[in-house]
Amino acid sequence: MDLVLFLTFALIAVACALNMALQRHPVSSALSLIGVMVSLAVLYVLLGAEFIAAAQLVVYSGAIMVLFIFVIMLLNAGAEKMTKKAGTAHFLGFPLLVILLAISAWVITNATSAMKPVKFGAFTKGGPYEVGWELFTRYLLPFEVTSILILIAIAGAYRLANKEME
Amino acid sequence: MDYLLVSIIKILIIAPLLLATLAYIVWLERKVIAHVQLRVGPYFVGPHGLLQPIADAVKLLTKEDFIPSGVNHFFYWAAPWLGLMFSVSAIAVIPFGPIVEIFGVKTNLGLADINIGLLWILGLAGMGVYGIALAGWSSNNKYSLLGAMRSSAQMISYELPMALALVAPLLMSNSLNLREVVDTQAGFVFGIIPNWNLFTGFQLVGFIVYMICAFAETNRIPFDLPEAENELVAGFHSEYSSMKFAAFFMAEYCNMIIVCSVATALFLGGWHPIVPPAIATFVPTFLFGLAAAVLFYHSSHPIRPTDRKSFFVFGVIFAAIALVFLAPAAGPILNSLFWFFAKVGFLLFFFIWVRATLPRFRYDQLMKIAWLFLFPVALANLVLTAFFVTLFSK
């Protein structure tokens, strides 16, 4: 059952990722990205990390991607058009992609020899309690630094928006 | 395998019931608003218009599915069903009752009993925006697009104070599992005040903030700016007809049920009765018996000639329901279900009541309420609750 679910959603994730790159229309691409995120959330659940799965749903597909779609719709961005330089990109893009994939495959295969394979549901540190505990003890400093970073970003966004209004 | 079988049986029971409830909430809404406005509402299809939802469903199914020109076909088709899917799947984590034993099988009255129940609902609420946003965008209509914009901005803004208001009761229950949250609210203080988060948790402020946000999240009056008729025709679903329109309608009513169920589970003690258990067992019997008595009286003194027969039949049905609650085997299970659905039903009635009463906000007022009033209030409520929880937990 776990394996069937894993294969289904892994395939959906890969298909959505490919679709995101291949689609010409920004809205289609953004929706494919949502598909990737939702299938990743399912994979997290299969591994036993429920909280991370929920956070993935709430934060990535619920909040960030809504803003993406919002911006695309506000700008009323149409389908992508070919420009003059697109020819070179077509010519060079595919070989470069193959090289990138080869390098990352090589890195991953070399790195995985040191890693242990993950079993479905064997990971028990993904609940809300465990994640919260780790965040407020072991990773307290990075956690607080991130919050301050976000606060600075909010202040900066506010400043920029105000500047435009004046 | 046993678990799978039980789950399938539960889905087969809950899914049709949910769809029927969605249809009949529309009937209820039309009736309640009609009576507020001194009309009778749907009356001619079946006794007291009770078959009206079925007639509506047949009408919507057989209506021409009109597709305007220039729409993005795929998204135009997918948007209503996406919206409906996200709102319906949230029902999976709602606990309707405690863990019970039916025919020797021990199970909880609800579909899934997961330890991230509330996060699941919040996640799906966030995803629900896509249905509306895509519908407005793909319809190729400026009114639809404006409605979708308003709706997404409103839903994103109100999600924040809503989540903050929901965290406060979670702090006291120390769990994200809705069944466990309800379980911590069992019992009575001084033998008379129910131990709900609303009363003994002092969450009145949180509850009010949550309910205001719930109105905005479900796009209901007074926050129904996305479908303001006098400005935007019908907002994001202007261009939809037939079953696609019905899907939006069902999603809205399903969202109403979800937010009311969450309020019930988190603030109103879920299936725990408002009166001490010694009396609570007989309350459903008493209420249904009272309804039956009133119906029998009106059937013998009818105002309209048709009432003589119809009220008598309804009276017999209500009396039968009252007797079922006294049955020794089914009684306790039905009792907890009764209390849960009574609270949800009351909140739904409140939604309808507000719709019949209040006018619509202006758009800038709507955003001001969310960011300058609800958000600070919810935050203060959360900080105070957290302070007292730490103070008393040691």
Q: pLDDT digit string (tens) for A16-59? A: 988 888 888 888 888 888 889 889 888 888 887 788 888 888 88
Answer yes or no: do B124 and A74 touch at CB < 8 A: no
Q: Contact at 8 Å (CB) between B269 and B182?
A: yes
Q: Contact at 8 Å (CB) between B30 and B41?
A: yes
B333 occurs within a structural domain: yes
Does A68 contact B at CB distance below 8 Å? no
B176 occurs within a structural domain: yes
B362 occurs within a structural domain: yes
Q: CB neighbours of B287 closer than 8 A, spacing ≥ 6?
A: B322
Q: Residue B99 is part of which domain span?
A: 59-272+327-393
Residue A145: per-residue pLDDT: 94
Residue B45: per-residue pLDDT: 83
A67 occurs within a structural domain: yes
Residues of chain A contacting residue B125, judged by C-beta atoms under 8 Å apart? 62
Residue B361: per-residue pLDDT: 82
Does A92 contact B at CB distance below 8 Å? no
Residue A82: per-residue pLDDT: 65
Residue B1: per-residue pLDDT: 56
Residue A103: per-residue pLDDT: 92
Residue A113: per-residue pLDDT: 66
Q: CB neighbours of B82 closer than 8 A, spacing ≥ 6?
A: B130, B131, B134
Residue A85: per-residue pLDDT: 66
Q: Which of B247, B179, B250 is nearest to B18 (CA)?
A: B250
B358 occurs within a structural domain: yes
The type of residue at B288 is: F
Residue in chain A lying closest to B136 (CA): A73
Domain edge (last residue) among A13, A46, A79? A79
By the 10 Å C-beta count (0-12 exposed, 13-18 middle, 19+ buried), B158 is classed as buried
Q: Contact at 8 Å (CB) between B249 and B88?
A: no
Answer yes or no: do A54 and B130 touch at CB < 8 A: no
Residues of chain A contacting residue B72, judged by C-beta atoms under 8 Å apart? 27
Residue B274: per-residue pLDDT: 82
Q: Which two tokens stand for residue B93?
A: 């984590």
**Chain B from 127 to 166: CB within 8 A of any A CB:** 127, 129-130, 133-134, 136-137, 145, 148-149, 152-153, 156, 159
Does B112 contact A at CB distance below 8 Å? no
Residues A1 and A67 occupy one common structural domain: yes
Residues of chain B contacting residue A67, judged by C-beta atoms under 8 Å apart? 156
Task: Provide the CA B270 distance to its chain's centre, in angstroms.
Answer: 13
Residue in chain A lying closest to B117 (CA): A54
A112 occurs within a structural domain: no
Does B225 contact A at CB distance below 8 Å? no
CA distance B216 to B210: 10
Residue B77: per-residue pLDDT: 85
- The ipTM, to two decimals, is 0.74
Which parts of chain A have pLDDT scores under 50? none
Q: Residue A139 is part of which domain span?
A: 127-166
DSSP A77: -
Q: CB neighbours of B249 closer than 8 A, spacing ≥ 6?
A: B26
B12 occurs within a structural domain: no
Q: How many CB atoms lie within 10 A of CB B142?
A: 12
Residue A117: per-residue pLDDT: 65
Q: Which two tokens stand for residue A102?
A: 């080869």
User: Choosing among A50, A59, A125, which should be mutated to test the B contact, i.e. which has the most B CBs within 10 A?
Assistant: A50
CA distances for B120 relative to A62, B86, B115, B204, B349, angstroms: 11, 11, 10, 24, 26
What is the number of structural domains in chain B? 1
Phi, psi at B100, each rounded to 5°? -130, 170
Residue A114: per-residue pLDDT: 64
Helix (H, G, I), strand (E, B) or coil at A76: coil
CA distance B288 to B331: 14
A103 occurs within a structural domain: no
Residue in chain A lying closest to B125 (CA): A62
Q: Which of A106, A5, A96, A11 is nearest to A47 (CA)?
A: A5
Exposure string for B257-271, b = 16+ CB within 10 A, e = fewer:
bbbbbbbbbbbbbbb
A105 occurs within a structural domain: no
**Element holding A56 (H helix, E strand):** none
Answer yes or no: do B123 and A61 touch at CB < 8 A: yes
* Tens of pLDDT, residue by residue, chain B (394 residues): 577 788 888 888 888 888 888 888 989 899 999 999 898 888 888 777 888 888 888 888 888 878 888 777 788 888 888 888 888 888 888 888 777 777 767 777 777 777 788 888 888 887 888 888 888 888 878 888 888 888 888 888 888 899 889 888 888 888 888 888 888 887 777 777 787 877 777 888 889 999 999 988 888 878 887 777 777 777 777 778 778 888 888 888 999 999 999 999 888 888 888 887 778 778 888 888 888 888 888 888 877 777 778 888 888 888 888 888 777 777 778 888 888 888 999 999 999 999 888 888 888 888 888 888 999 999 999 999 888 888 887 6
Q: Contact at 8 Å (CB) between B77 and B138?
A: no
Q: CB neighbours of A9 closer than 8 A, spacing ≥ 6?
A: A39, A42, A43, A46
Q: Contact at 8 Å (CB) between A84 and B148?
A: no
CA distance B129 to B115: 25
